[in-house]
Amino acid sequence: MTQHEPVRFGIVGAGRIARSAFVPALEATADAELVAAASRDRARAESLKPRRAYDDYTALLDDADVEAVYIATHNGLHKPLTLAALERGKHVLCEKPLACNAKEAAEMVAAAAKHDRLLVEAFMYRFHPQIAELSARVRGGAIGTLKTVEAGFSFHAPDEQDVRYRADWGGGALLDLGCYCVNLCRLLFGGQPVAATAEGTFHPTCGVDLSLHGVLDFGDGRHGVISCGFDAGPRNHVYVVGTEGTLALTRAFANNRKPTTLIELKGFDQKETSFPATDLFQLEIEDFAWCVRTGRPPLLPPDDGLLNARVLDALLYAARGGGTRFAVQT
Ligand SMILES: NC(=O)c1ccc[n+]([C@@H]2O[C@H](COP(=O)([O-])OP(=O)(O)OC[C@H]3O[C@@H](n4cnc5c(N)ncnc54)[C@H](OP(=O)(O)O)[C@@H]3O)[C@@H](O)[C@H]2O)c1
């Protein structure tokens, strides 16, 4: 893009995703620059090679030169850091899931509106051209009437010291991985489910969901079937089933910078559409920067994060034995 001044980013939290995905993508684009980074450990912040490194998150938020904050901490800090950044007039790109639950997400959405700043949930997979193509084919009737979206995301995450195992910080497979599956179901069905039910397996002591398998009822015999877990081999797929055919992606969510293929099945015919390797984080940053500079609304408005969180709440409630939850959107 680059018809604008680069957006001046500050990164809060120098963990895996900031280091391995966000910083390389920032370095590859001319649309944004890394002005500051904050970590509890200054050396870790410095290792991201920002212009200024902080060992205090608030000091970064107080840096007047930072226009936009990328929140890359564990989920439990997404809400307080987002609120603090918005209050200081910063735009916020917050890692997924937006919050630990819908109540938190609602506060964040209200704060973004109050302070008139961008708040975007960093679902980088949405920027892959294959998702736009998948969505367009469904809307265009390529597979007839949409009936079922089956989405799965899992990998082995056995390290119980990992933040994913902290229930009080929004740990668990649903918030880490299932949030993508829910987001894609909502995109393809074009709205909220009317009911959600689920089963899960839970860690015996820390209590996070190790796996969760849910059914979302989108009405009129249309369903989303989602499955996620830390206790299974790697997969991130979607099968989109209509009355006349099926569309499939076997690399639907992960940013593995590998070529991908969209498969369309009709009867015994199989049509494949290839997509070149792409850096989803770079596309996400460039889109965010464009929105900051032009005022264009983001692909993922804050409300989308709130609606996703409501479905995640309903699924967890059901999986913990609360039963089917109806009227998920309310
Ligand atoms: N979009 C994606 O593809 C993707 C992929 C993976 C994860 N994520 C999301 O990114 C976020 C970070 O995930 P990650 O995999 O990078 O996790 P991680 O490597 O474990 O990093 C945890 C982060 O939390 C911060 N933190 C603050 N207080 C902490 C504490 N008491 N204990 C441990 N860490 C603490 C750490 O910052 P310091 O530098 O201050 O220690 C670090 O940035 C999560 O919200 C996750 O859902 C997104």
Which domains, and CATH codes, for the chain?
7-124+282-299 (3.40.50.720), 128-280+309-326 (3.30.360.10)
Q: Is 150 helix (H, G, I), strand (E, B) or coil?
A: strand
Q: Please tell me the distance between residue 297's alpha carbon and the centre of ligand 1 in angstroms.
A: 27
- Ligand 1 centroid to 204 CA: how many Å? 23
Say if strands 260-266 and 246-249 run parallel, antiparallel, or are unpaired. antiparallel
Q: Specify the range with the lowest mean pLDDT, choosing from 125-129, 145-149, 158-162, 283-287.
A: 158-162
Whether the per-residue pLDDT at 325 is higher than 90: the answer is: no
Segment 18-38 shows an average pLDDT of 98
First to last CA, the chain: 39
Other CB atoms within a 10 A radius of the CB of residue 195 amount to 17
Residue 330: the pLDDT is 45
Q: What is the pLDDT, as a whole number, of residue 327?
A: 62
Residues 215-236 have a mean pLDDT of 96
- Determine whether the shortest distance from the Cβ of 213 to ligand 1 is under 6 A: no
Instruction: Give percent of the chain above pLDDT 70.
Output: 98
Does residue 13 have its Cβ closer than 6 Å to ligand 1?
yes
Residue type at 298 in one-letter notation: P
Question: Which numbered atom of ligand 1 lies nearest the CA of 45?
Answer: 39
Mind listing the pLDDT tens digit for each residue in 173-190?
999 999 999 999 999 999
For atom 5 of ligand 1, the residue with the nearest CA is 17
Residue holding tokens 């680059």?
Answer: 2
CB contact at 8 A, 98 and 123 = no
Say if ligand 1 is within 6 A of residue 121 CB: no
Mean pLDDT of 39-46: 98
222 ligand 1 Cβ < 6 A: no
Task: Pick from 12, 17, 70, 177 the residue to mutate for probing ligand 1's pocket: most ligand atoms within 8 Å of its CB.
Answer: 17
Mean pLDDT check: name the lowest of 10-24, 69-83, 314-328: 314-328
Residue 195 has pLDDT above 60, yes or no: yes
Q: Which residue has the tokens 């796996």?
A: 211
Map residue 31 onto helix, strand or coil: coil
For the cut 80, the answer to whether the pLDDT of residue 255 exceeds it is: no
- Quick: pLDDT tens for 93-133: 999 999 999 999 999 999 999 999 999 999 999 999 999 99
What angle (nearest 5°) sits at the alpha carbon of residue 166, between those of residues 164 and 168?
130
Q: Is the CB of 183 under 6 A from ligand 1?
A: no
Angle at 286 between CA 139 and CA 182, to 5 degrees: 40
Mean per-residue pLDDT over the chain, rounded: 96
Smallest CA separation from ligand 1 atom 18, residue: 15
Residue 96 Cα to ligand 1 midpoint, Å, equals: 11
Indicate which residue's Cα is closest to atom 21 of ligand 1: 15
Ligand 1 contact, 75 CB (< 6 A)? yes
Which pair of tokens denotes residue 301?
């408005």
Torsion of CA 22, 23, 25, 26, to 10 degrees: 110
Q: What is the pTM of this model?
A: 0.97
CB distance 25 to ligand 1 below 6 Å: no
Residue 256 clears pLDDT 90, i.e. is over it: no
* pLDDT the model gives residue 329: 60
Whether pLDDT at 172 is above 70: yes
